[in-house]
Structure 1
Amino acid sequence: MLRMKHRGTVPLEQRLVYVQVVEGLLEHGLRGSVSPRLKHRLRQAGIDLDRPLLPGYPVLLWGKCLDVIVEETLPGLPREEAFRQLAERHVQGYGRTVVGRAVYGVMRLLGPRRMVQRLPQTLRATDNYTEVELTEQGPTTYAMRMNSRVDAPGYAEALFESLLRLGGAESPRVARIHEDADSTTYQLTWTER
């Protein structure tokens, strides 16, 4: 089992998502899709796109923003499908940030197995609270426990599937296999090319 270095438990109200995550979605992943109404609603929620982005945003605020973005950019889709599509756009957009280009360049070279083994470090660079435990269940299957929950059905699953594809995985599949008040466990599987 791979474990991340313990960062201590960061209380929910002090959890921050770093700027490159926000930039990846809002400035790159949604390029051309930010309507005046979406911009206004994001400003009301706490992210003003007419000003430079802050170094970090509270995770609770970011969760509200994701809901607003889905409502405004993917109306009419079932909630899970909308969040899946948003996650794919987020991964693409993050790859256009300075940090994302560097991270994705390394991921492409590692291949899926080693890329998954680096996910704890990769995810640690996106916020101030994530801790990950990986358990290898087979050469192309891992259980990944995270110390958080995402209230956006399909979002995390689609995000990790996109990252696996980026690492060269064939037919990636990520499923939520356990969830409690403060953690989520996903099963990551793929086939070799």
Structure 2
Amino acid sequence: MKLRKPVPLEQRLVYVQVVEGLLQHGLNGRVTPRLKQRLRQVGVDLDRPLLPAYPVPLWTHCLSIIVDEAYPGIPREEAFRRLAETHVQGYGRTVIGRAVFGVMRLLGPRRLVLRIPQTLRATDNYTEVELLERGPTTYEMKMNSVVEPPGYVESLFESLLRVGGAESPKVSRIHVDPGTPSTTYQLTWAER
């Protein structure tokens, strides 16, 4: 699998519906004054309308702040896993997310996986995905980025597979190439 040259880090943006999904819907009622203040200090002001897009390094920093504030005392990987589940649930409550999730529920797990490249292109300006089928319920997914928070991406895609009706979804990071940069994941689920 060969992905096109990635968008430079300083030009990578995450779109508003992703930010809205987590901060306004997923964490609804759990955004403390301290969390709000810390996010404002780095450039995300929840007392103003959200911007159309945010730089990825800023958004990644925000995810770390949210984990620190919303999941204190929980091991970091588990906290990022919980955050990803919350994020997917919140995204499903946005206008765009409700439409996307409605389609995902109809598709089922296999067709949902096949649509991941298009789905992710609607969330940011840089993500590209290549899929390789390894079996009826097993795919390799290569992304043109390396997402650092441990467990976050794995839990994010497991949650999306659940939306599509997958039983016992499991996503594992199987290869990281920081030079490219790219990450390959294995996505599996149980047959019904």
Q: Which bracket does the TM-score occupy, shorter chain normalised?
A: over 0.9
Paired amino acid for 1:191: A
Selected match of 1:88 from 85, 98, 102: 85
TM superposition score normalised by structure 1: 0.96
Structure 2 equivalent of residue 10 of structure 1 = 7
Structure 2 equivalent of residue 32 of structure 1 = 29
In the TM superposition, structure 1's runs of 4+ consecutive aligned residues that sit over 2 Å from their partners are none
CA distance, structure 2, for counterparts of residue 81 and residue 175 of structure 1: 14
1:87-166 equivalences under 5 Å are 87-166=84-163
Q: Kindly indicate whether the alpha-carbon contact (under 8 Å) linking 2:77 and 2:150 is maintained by their aligned counterparts in 1.
A: yes
Paired amino acid for 1:186: Y
Paired amino acid for 1:79: R
CA distance, structure 2, for counterparts of residue 67 and residue 53 of structure 1: 19
Unaligned 5+ segments in structure 1 are none
**Other structure's SS at 2:140 match:** strand
**How many pairs does the alignment contain?**
190
Root mean square deviation, CA, Å: 1.3
Q: Kindly indicate whether the alpha-carbon contact (under 8 Å) linking 2:6 and 2:144 is maintained by their aligned counterparts in 1.
A: no
TM superposition score normalised by structure 2: 0.96
**Alpha-carbon displacement from aligned partner over 1:104-151 (angstroms, at most 9, x marks no partner):** 000000000000000000001000000000000000000000001111
Unaligned 5+ segments in structure 2 are none
Selected match of 2:19 from 22, 44, 48: 22
Structure 2 equivalent of residue 186 of structure 1 = 185
